[in-house]
Amino acid sequence: MTLTVFLAVLAAAVMHAGWNVLVKLKLDRFLSLFLIQTLMGVMGLAMVAVFPLAAFASLPYALASGVLHLGYNLFLARSYRTGDLSQVYPIARGGAPLLTLCVTWFAAHEQVSPLGALGVLVLTSGIWLVSLAGKKQVRLDGMTLFFALGTSVFIAAYTVVDGLGGRASGSPSSYAGLVFVFDALFLLAYGVISRGPGIIASVAPFWRMGVAGAALSVGAYWIAIWAMSRAPISAVAALRETSILFVMLLSMRVLKEKVTGWRLGGAGLIAAGAILLRLS
C-alpha cells in the first residue's frame, strides 16, 4: 500500500470517527440514517455531474451496492433498537474486515501478501480488544445478535462490490456518486413506504446536522472507494476500521472518557496492524 493511499484511508477513518463523536441527531436510528443517506444522494448527484462518467460496466455494481446498503441500514437500525452501541458496534464493524479478506481471497481471487493478511488479523484483534475487553457483561439476545452479525455481512458484501465496481468504472469518484444516489433512492423509497410521506417533514428540522453527517460520510466512503481501486480491498477495509481508535482518542479529549489498560493494548494492536498494512 502506497503512502498516499495509506494516509488517505486514515483521513477517511478520522472523518468516520468525527461523525460518530461530534454529530448527534435527536432522532431514532432509522430516521438519522434516512436523513443522512438522503442528503448523501444529493451530494452524489453533484459528483456524477462533475466527474467523468463511470463506465457502463460498473452500473450493476452500483445498483447492487444500493441494495446492500439498504440491507445494512435496516439491519443496523434494528440491532441498535435492542442492543447497546458498545455491544453491537464491535460485532458489526469488527467482523467485517475478516469477512472481506475471506471473500476477496477465495471468491474475487485477489492476492493478499502474508504481511497484509497478518496486518488485517492484528488490526481486527485490536478492534475487538478496544471494544470488548474489560467489560464485565456483554450479552445480546438472539435477534439482536442475528442483526448485528447480519450487519457485518452486509458491510463486507458492499465493500467487495464497491471495490470491484470502482475498479470497473474507470472513474472511482463518479462511481462513488452513483452509489450515494442509489443508496439514497432505495432508502428514501423504503422510508416513505414504511413510515409515510410525513417522514420527510419529521427529519427536516435537523437538516444542518444532517448535512454535516452526510459530508463526513461522503468524504469517508468516497476515499475508501478510490483507495480500493489502488490497493487490495481487504487491506483498505481493515484500515478503515482504525476509526475505532480515533473514536477512542476523541472520546478521551472531547467526552473525557476513561481509557483502561485493555483499551490501550487494543489501540497498540490497531496501530501495529496499520503499520503492517502500510508495509505490505
Cβ 138 vs Cβ 197: under 8 Å? no
H/E/C letters for each residue in 179-223? HHHHHHHHHHHHHHHHHCCHHHHHHHHHHHHHHHHHHHHHHHHHH
pLDDT, residue 234, reads 86
Q: What is the pLDDT along the chain (280 residues), one digit of tens a residue?
A: 888 998 999 899 888 777 665 445 567 778 888 999 999 999 999 999 999 999 999 999 999 999 999 999 888 888 877 666 556 666 777 778 888 888 888 777 787 788 888 888 888 888 777 766 555 555 556 777 788 888 889 999 999 999 999 999 999 999 999 999 999 999 999 999 999 999 999 999 988 888 988 999 999 999 999 999 999 898 898 888 787 777 667 666 655 556 677 777 877 888 888 888 878 7
For 204-262, the pLDDT digits (tens) are 998 888 898 899 999 999 999 999 999 989 889 888 878 777 766 766 665 555 667 77
Q: Which of 267, 186, 175 is nearest to 221 (CA)?
A: 175
Handedness of CA 274, 73, 87, 218 (dihedral sign): positive
- The dihedral through the CA atoms of 276, 263, 252, 136 has a sign that is positive
- Strand, coil or helix: what is 134? coil
Question: What pLDDT does residue 149 have?
Answer: 85
Over pLDDT 70: what percentage of the chain?
A: 85
109, 163 in Cβ contact below 8 A?
no
Burial of 250 (0-12, 13-18, 19+ CB in 10 A): middle
pLDDT value at residue 7: 92
HSE at residue 133, side-chain half, CA atoms within 13 A, is 15
Q: pTM for this structure? A: 0.85
**pLDDT score of 21:** 56
Give SS3 for 234.
helix
Position 137 scores a pLDDT of 53
According to DSSP H, which parts of the chain are helical? 3-22, 29-50, 59-82, 85-106, 114-132, 142-169, 172-195, 198-203, 207-228, 233-240, 243-253, 261-279
pLDDT at 240: 86
